[in-house]
Structure 1
């Protein structure tokens, strides 16, 4: 099965098989967004799904927040529920073909949805999409799964080995404010694009 196929993800949304959807904005990302004083920075969340973090960002004053998803289904629901969100900030496309420059990209269950063979491409594309000194911030699983995926697991050392080639690693630590179901199985990363 090709996990990057948009029909696969649309089927997951249509059939309600969205175990990654926690129903609200991710607490680690909310806490990180709350610390940002400049609400005019350009932010993107790939694989945004239901876009809870985007709604939170809009409600708290962010003016240039973008969401991207390969599947049209969750984006259509998002737009219908959030008509005040700028339509030109909603991107229905393949992440690897997306063009733009961002100050901040947020990671929440996107990396683990990609086949592990795409992880180097992910790191390179993230570096390409971030401005000089822009940051990739979020949570990654720190565990393996007893299934073929997605989600696909990983561990902190693997992420360090992968990302240090493309970014300056500012933080890589156990995520202390994960949702209860994921507590102890996630790491929080802050990666800075200072290696251009």
Structure 2
């Protein structure tokens, strides 16, 4: 037994004996033992500071994360060609005065007084749409009305399409109900490269013919 707890154990022993003496009806002995227990307890408290009995509560620190990841850097994706050039739409209740140059598709529901240049994309004149001006594109679909010069690799005049002016095309399709009045010009075929330097494929001369097409 450690010495510092000897006085505490003595105090407990005297207190127990005092209770026994009180129970057997020996008051003088009980009081003497109780006084001895009190003296032993005071002696223990004097010899041992209070903080020995009541130890400070330990503070448990949370485990720190083993690895702290660096902030993630997001690399912006390079937009594709179609994302760079969005679609242009002229609504049915809109009238535009001026020219349009676009890298994407163009849909005309309303009215445009001006030229449209979208050489690598599609231009579609919707039913009820009107364009008074020149059109240059890769593919042209007309289901409305166009007055002017149209130049496209592929031209399609739909059931409600009306074209007045000049058509320059490589492929032309006119559906039943479509109408074309003006001059038609077949564009030369795309030049094909040959193995012999300086030798190019013969290109047919351009032709300009007055045409009137009204399909019923």
TM-score bracket relative to the smaller structure: under 0.3
Q: RCO greater where, 1 or 2, for CA within 8 Å and sep 6 or more?
A: 1
Q: TM-score, normalised by structure 2?
A: 0.24
Q: TM-score, normalised by structure 1?
A: 0.26
Structure of greater Rg: 2
Structure with the higher fraction of residues in helix conformation: 1
